[in-house]
Amino acid sequence: MHDEVDRIVEAWERERPDLDVTPLTVLSRVSRLSRHLDLARRAVFARHGLETWEFDVLSALRRAGAPYRLSPGALLTQTLVTSGTMTNRIDRLTQRGFVSRLPSPDDRRGVLVELADLGRTRVDGALADLLDEERTLLAGLPDEDRIRLADLLRSVVAPFDAH
């Protein structure tokens, strides 16, 4: 089986035989897979009336467990955006009725963001459909290969997450 990355690597090997292009054999495939996954996710989220960033914030709150509340700082950590961006996102999610702001019981100046019933329903539906779509994307891999791939990717990604 040949893919577009094989053609790219072969062309670079022909044109630049002085360079070791083997990193492309892995990372170009990861990049291409990321693009396909991004398109699939956007389509799933759109069917649920969500943007990718909305799903990210709502799912962080949902994963927090009942009562589905997090500080804006905790949301920053989980979604890797700036505080200004997060403030804007919380404002927009509040306007859509997906979340609400509550005063923090620990800090008079602080707030907590709480997942509203509408947000929970929306993120739960989107997650179920997303998992179906992702299963389809991985359908060509036997279970043991999926586990091995997940382990290999973890060993590449973990050092970045540690920072």
> How is residue 106 annotated by DSSP?
S
Residue 161: per-residue pLDDT: 79
49-162 maps to CATH 1.10.3110.10? no
Q: What distance in Å separates the CA atoms of residue 130 and residue 108, rounded to the nearest whole number?
A: 38
Q: Which residues of the chain have pLDDT under 50?
A: none
Q: Please give the model's pTM, rounded to 2 decimal places.
A: 0.85
**Cβ atoms of 108 and 34 closer than 8 Å:** no
Residue 155: per-residue pLDDT: 95
Residue 57: per-residue pLDDT: 97
Amino acid of residue 27: L
